Amino acid sequence: GMGHYRLLTCYDDAAGHWISYDSYISRGVDPDKPYRGITVGYDEISKMWPVFNRTYVVIYRNEQAPLVEAILGNDLDDEAMWRRALEQARRRLAFEELLVIQLGVLGQHRAWQAKPAQPIPLADEALALFLDILPFELTAAQQRALAEIQADLAHDYPMTRLLQGDVGSGKTVIAAAAMWAAVVNNAQAALMAPTEILAEQHYRKLTDLFGQIINPHTGWPVRVALLTGSVLGKKREALLDTLAAGEIDILIGTHALIQGGVIFHDLAMVVVDEQHRFGVGQRAALREKGPALNAPDSPAAGKTPHTLVMSATPIPRTLALTIYGDMDVGVIDELPPGRQPIETYWVKPDKRQRLYNFIRKQVAEGRQAFIVYALVDESDRLEDVGAAVAEHKRLQSSIFPDLRVGLIHGRMTGKEKDAVMRAFAAGEYDVLVSTAVVEVGIDIPNASLMLIENADRFGLSQLHQFRGRVGRGPHKSYCILIAEPASAAGEERMRAMTRTQDGFELAEIDMRMRGPGEFFGSRQSGLPDLRLARLSDARLLALARQEAQAILDADPDLAKPEHRILAQRTAAIFQKEMDLS
């Protein structure tokens, strides 16, 4: 039953290289007239050996492009042989998909390293000054991540590093140490957050932290400033003047930082807090824009700032090598000693009344609660908003008439959502009802309860992100999943959540269960849709990465004629959005 595969045997004497299927066409092989002839296969060591009377499976990508693949014996009815041949063919095609991605991301990585940067070495004495003001000791994982960054910052080409860690693992403090390295070297640092409300949160925390430490070059405490879209007119002009004069050490803000005529005196370090996906294209744009952020007469003129991207979304290593393959990846994989685990329970919907009582009890103790509703139907967002609005009304009028219940949903503007979140943070609501828009956002140290309705509709990574919204203060916190999963997979997800708090472990399970395309909408990650490759295949990915390194070592610009097709394919992937939006 091999109807959709056709057979083709063909002869080729190019030694030991995979031959791209396109090149067969150019040799005038007519795919519609299979002919018999001598075929040549390659063994493990890529030596040629002739095989007589054998048949290759040929898979057609499109009508014109046969891809020569597995060698078959003469017994064409041998089912097991076909299966082996097809698996071999799938692996070959999968390898090619991964190879093209790796050529792209490793090419980006080389593009970074080809740029000049200002070294900002952080000597141990200077680092000790910073560590002294921290109210806690760094964990071993934090120390390891910091050591990697320290090594990178001493180079005269830009660091391009991803710092991954679960919510609460202490990434910001490590990023602050990298910013301190710029200050110690009489340069400036910037931190870019995805929203104004998060920029403000960073600003408050870093102002508190750096207010305790003296800039060795000025004798004053480190000067931290905030620039968002809300800073307008005279205020904005004054801030930009101070920045250009070098009188601000650390600038925090939204993407407004790298847009619209913001010029630094000497920007050497950029931290990106990518709560939302900050894809390969955007990183490339930042790299190209970097040198233009400094004044032409600045010590950093024409230099690219060191870049650190922080991500609170734990992702499996194989996926990190793909989505963040243009960067060096560091991981903080342990939580600080003081953080208590968040008690997680999976309950059936008929226990809802008891849960409402539990919410009351928490509120009576002065705590706050989130209630999250799953999107009923991805395609019809309006209906979901309707569901959230109706549910909010029901909770407010008949369940908690004496409590203050807030509402956030996907149809609200960023400003409206921010206003509700600020009010919740300020304690103006006891309970916040929300559709899936609270994954990321500001700390609400007083929130101790996360209740998730229809929890089986969310992926594990998303559930884990929701859970991370509570447990940020001193209070014992709870995450309750209400679900009656209709599938074994749904049940497995509920059990995984109650079993572990480790975001990386959950991410691995999530990817295994849903596949990488689901795991990260590829539109978000800038990943091409993989047709045959499985990102869980770590060995094939490692092979593709190794092979891509070797090809780029030999031909950094993919300029050789035999790499023409690879170059085209690689370019096609990264032709997507290169704009910093």
**Count of alpha carbons within 13 angstroms of residue 406, beta-carbon side:** 23
Domain assignment present for residue 296? The answer is yes
Strands annotated E in 87-172 = 160-165
Strands 6-8 and 55-60: antiparallel
Please tell me the predicted confidence (pLDDT) of residue 443: 81
252 and 357 part of one domain: no
Give the count of beta carbons closer than 10 Å to the beta carbon of residue 538.
13
Torsion region of 283: left, alpha or beta (phi above 0 gives left; psi -120 to 50 gives alpha): alpha
Instruction: Name which of 372, 379, 380 is nearest 447 in CA terms.
Output: 372
429 and 452 part of one domain: yes
Instruction: Name which of 314, 313, 384, 398 is nearest 352 in CA terms.
Output: 398
Among 500, 517, 543, where does a domain finish?
500
Residue 577 DSSP SS3: coil
Cβ atoms of 403 and 431 within 8 Å: the answer is yes
371 and 321 part of one domain: no
Domain assignment present for residue 77? The answer is no
Q: State which residues form the domain around 435.
A: 343-500
Please tell me the predicted confidence (pLDDT) of residue 293: 87
Domain assignment present for residue 24? The answer is no
Cβ atoms of 532 and 89 within 8 Å: the answer is no
Cβ atoms of 68 and 74 within 8 Å: the answer is no
pTM, to two decimals: 0.76
Q: Distance between CA atoms of 267 and 294, rounded to whole angstroms?
A: 6
CA dihedral 283, 288, 293, 297 (to 10 degrees): 150
Residue 570 DSSP SS3: helix
Cβ atoms of 377 and 384 within 8 Å: the answer is yes
318 and 351 part of one domain: no
- Distances in Å between the Cα of 458 and the Cα atoms of 411, 465, 503, 511 are 19, 11, 15, 13
429 and 383 part of one domain: yes
Among 500, 515, 533, where does a domain finish?
500
Please tell me the predicted confidence (pLDDT) of residue 275: 58
Domain assignment present for residue 136? The answer is yes
388 and 250 part of one domain: no
Query: Residue 479 forms beta bridges with which residues?
Result: 344, 450
- Amino acid identity at 104: G
Q: Distance between CA atoms of 206 and 392, rounded to whole angstroms?
A: 36
Domain assignment present for residue 88? The answer is no
Q: Distance between CA atoms of 161 and 327, rounded to whole angstroms?
A: 5
Q: Distance between CA atoms of 9 and 75, rounded to whole angstroms?
A: 15
How many domains are there within the chain?
2
Helix (H) or strand (E) holding 438: none
Q: Distance between CA atoms of 205 and 455, rounded to whole angstroms?
A: 33
Low-confidence ranges of the chain (pLDDT < 50): 1-74, 76, 380, 521-524, 576-581
Q: Distance between CA atoms of 139 and 442, rounded to whole angstroms?
A: 23
Q: What is the pLDDT of residues 345-365, one digit of tens each?
A: 999 999 989 999 999 999 999
Domain assignment present for residue 82? The answer is no
130 and 263 part of one domain: yes
Give the count of beta carbons closer than 10 Å to the beta carbon of residue 149.
22
Which structure tokens are listed for 9? 């045997």
303 and 352 part of one domain: no
Q: Distance between CA atoms of 102 and 121, rounded to whole angstroms?
A: 30
Instruction: Name which of 499, 506, 496, 494 is nearest 348 in CA terms.
Output: 494
Among 283, 304, 332, where does a domain finish?
332
347 and 319 part of one domain: no
Residue 455 DSSP SS3: helix
151 and 279 part of one domain: yes
Domain assignment present for residue 530? The answer is no
400 and 259 part of one domain: no
Cα 167 versus chain centre, distance? 14
Cβ atoms of 294 and 268 within 8 Å: the answer is no
Please tell me the predicted confidence (pLDDT) of residue 91: 75
Which structure tokens are listed for 173? 């403090």
**What CATH number does the domain containing 276 carry?**
3.40.50.300
252 and 168 part of one domain: yes
Cβ atoms of 198 and 273 within 8 Å: the answer is yes
Instruction: Name which of 285, 182, 329, 327 is nearest 579 in CA terms.
Output: 285
Strands annotated E in 422-558 = 431-434, 447-453, 478-482
- Amino acid identity at 13: D
Give the count of beta carbons closer than 10 Å to the beta carbon of residue 442.
20
Domain assignment present for residue 384? The answer is yes
